[in-house]
Structure 1
Amino acid sequence: MGRSGRVTLTDVARASGVSRATVSFVLNDDPRQTISATTRERVLAAARDLGYVAHGIARALREGSSRIVVLNVDWGMEGNFSRSYVKGLDEELAEHDHILLVRHGHAIPESTQKVLDTIAPRAVLRLGEAYMQGHEPIEEDWESGFAANAGLQIGHLAARGHSRIAMALPDHDFPLTEARLGFSREAARRLGLAPLERFVVPGPREAGAAAVEAFLAAHADVTAVAAFDDDIALRTLTALGDLGRRVPEDVAVMGFDETEYGSLSSPALTTVHIDAEVLGRIAARTALGMRSDGLTPVHGRIVVRASV
């Protein structure tokens, strides 16, 4: 072991019986070098056994950037989708010796630039950025992407006999609100349903009840509410209960992007569960300039409970 007590590349090379250069190629996952699987595993095993930790600052100087990838997650996007996405992104980056830094809240350009100047990240990502920029879904998105998950919600309500559906939206300007609304409206059109109505359910309980009451008074033919997410669905459930409306007999309510709270409501909330771990792994490989062969997005699924 090195004189300072810190395990060095030389220590790993000696333990694995290869050159220091080979150890460097393996630990840096250098795509320009062809190292046999046996040698690679021997080096990695020696590094694990010795507790080797790379000197990040020195490597950043060599590579021109740190081995940090930054993910910005806007407020209002903290659901199962974001949690599973972060998990996949983090684990995939770790497998390639990179570190994930997650920033919550609105990422203004000035603060992002400070991050760039301070840590020189390998990449800066923003959850859902493509859709925030007005990305039009291709047909693949309707098979396994964000649009497909929005379509699951509308499709489930339609399958239960609802042809007049409204979408309950948050009272704050979330980055993906318009994209979600657009996908849901297109899903309704594809299913031959009436155009999707929209209304906002504010946070204070009394205000939420007043908003729901006013909307239903003006749209008596609406029999189902597709909520922006589980939080808005729970606001709607509470409002309907306060108004003496039965769920689902009078109005069905369906959530989106499952949280654990929906199972605790009365009635329990039917919702859409989205597992985005694979999407996180794909994003990690893309950020590192690697192929994503063998990684296929997982389809969303309906969690059937009592509110529909």
Structure 2
Amino acid sequence: MSRSTRATAKDVARASGVSQTTVSFVLNDAAGHVSQETRERVQQAARALGYVPNGSAQALRKGASRIVLLNVEGIPTGSSLGGYIHGLDAELASHNHVLLVLHGHLSSQALSDVAQAVSARAVIDLSNAGHADALATDTHTSLDAFSAQADVPVRHLVDRGHRHIATVLPDTPELQALAGLRERLIRQAAHTAGLDGCPTLVLPSSLGPAEERLRSFRAEHPEVTAVVAYNDDLALVTLAAMRRIGLRAPADLAVIGFDDTPHGALFSPALTTVHIDAEAIGRIAARKALGLPAADTTPEPARVIVRESG
């Protein structure tokens, strides 16, 4: 089979018809609960694809310890991530495992070194989706779950007559994995709704530069009547910048955030936002990391918390 890129654990899972967690157990010699037939199917698929695990994958030391690592570098913990961590921690604790949360600036190799040092059972790296396959964890599943409800605010705005919607993304490199995925799904939802285009406004967190970016964006895209921000913090920066240049929400520009953080309700105008069942997503991530079935845990559908801004 000719491939332009190196095969990943996700490719092996797809080819053998199993989960990435099962692939991780088999290829890291921790597959005691996996049938011999499944083990051989995974190994055959890995050989056929030419899969070679990198150093990070080797950090999963046969599931020797009861420690699961979660790397959240740069991701605001006051948002849905807080609920995600709570659910992940609670579910792991119910199976006698411990969650270790890392907030530092870690390279892939440094994360691998930490995993090796504690003989981690699994690693979930939300800050660097580019290494998710190598780490053979639930990273992609978690990112997908956080972003999959991106159509909810789009439908809300379309139902209120908006035909030109934009996304607002942070200029922080650490957030690009989740922000980029959410942007793509918002664009898909806009396309499905029959909207023409969905431009992106990249805003810094500082109010002065954000004001200038917003002013330039309005000049380039005067047709836009609503924006969906990456999270509540960025939505509030948008509202503050709007006030500085004399725009009102929602009369001039409707604004919706993500995460339903408490301070969104305290702003004026109060922020319309999207609530996500992050705790359930965390519980699912824990069960997948441990190779346990997660079908009995289903997150509640995302919903718009309607306030004044949108």
Q: TM-score, normalised by structure 2?
A: 0.71
Cross-structure match for 2:161: 161
Deviation at 1:132, TM superposition (A): 8.0
User: What is the one-letter code of the residue matched to 2:172?
Assistant: H
Counterparts of 1:258 and 1:120 in 2: how far apart (Å)?
A: 36
Classify the secondary structure of the residue corresponding to 1:302.
strand
Deviation at 1:130, TM superposition (A): 6.2
Deviations 1:88-133 (A, max 9, x none): 1111111111111011244312221221232111111123876986
Shift in alpha-carbon separation, 1:255–1:240, aligned structure 2, 3 A: same
Greater displacement, 247-256 / 69-78: 69-78
Percent identical across equivalent pairs?
44
Counterparts of 1:300 and 1:258 in 2: how far apart (Å)?
A: 11
1:121 pairs with 2:82 = no
User: What is the one-letter code of the residue matched to 1:291?
Assistant: P
Q: Is the 8 A contact 1:81 1:276 kept in 2?
A: yes
1:217 pairs with 2:249 = no
Q: Which runs of 5+ in 1 are unaligned?
A: 1-30, 33-62, 135-140
Cross-structure match for 2:55: none
Deviations 1:235-285 (A, max 9, x none): 110011011111111111111122111111110000001112122112212
Cross-structure match for 1:285: 287
Deviations 1:180-219 (A, max 9, x none): 1110000000011121011112222221111111111121
Q: Is the 8 A contact 1:79 1:257 kept in 2?
A: no
Shift in alpha-carbon separation, 1:131–1:223, aligned structure 2, 3 A: farther
Deviation at 1:302, TM superposition (A): 0.8
Deviations 1:34-59 (A, max 9, x none): xxxxxxxxxxxxxxxxxxxxxxxxxx
Q: Is the 8 A contact 1:80 1:274 kept in 2?
A: no
Counterparts of 2:207 and 2:222 in 1: how far apart (Å)?
A: 22
Alignment of 1:235-246 (within 5 A): 235-246=237-248
Cross-structure match for 2:14: none
Counterparts of 1:273 and 1:131 in 2: how far apart (Å)?
A: 27
Counterparts of 1:270 and 1:105 in 2: how far apart (Å)?
A: 32
Classify the secondary structure of the residue corresponding to 1:255.
strand
Classify the secondary structure of the residue corresponding to 1:152.
helix
Alignment of 1:186-265 (within 5 A): 186-265=188-267
Shift in alpha-carbon separation, 1:306–1:180, aligned structure 2, 3 A: same
Shift in alpha-carbon separation, 1:127–1:298, aligned structure 2, 3 A: farther
Counterparts of 2:169 and 2:63 in 1: how far apart (Å)?
A: 44
Deviation at 1:65, TM superposition (A): 1.4
Classify the secondary structure of the residue corresponding to 2:227.
strand
Deviation at 1:150, TM superposition (A): 0.7
Counterparts of 2:271 and 2:203 in 1: how far apart (Å)?
A: 17
Q: Is the 8 A contact 1:72 1:103 kept in 2?
A: yes
Q: Is the 8 A contact 1:79 1:258 kept in 2?
A: no
Q: Is the 8 A contact 2:231 2:259 kept in 1?
A: yes
Alignment of 1:1-308 (within 5 A): 65-127=64-126, 145-173=145-173, 174=175, 175-308=177-310
Counterparts of 1:125 and 1:272 in 2: how far apart (Å)?
A: 24
User: What is the one-letter code of the residue matched to 2:154?
Assistant: I
Q: TM-score, normalised by structure 1?
A: 0.72
User: How many residues matched?
Assistant: 240
Q: Which runs of 5+ in 2 are unaligned?
A: 1-31, 34-61, 134-140
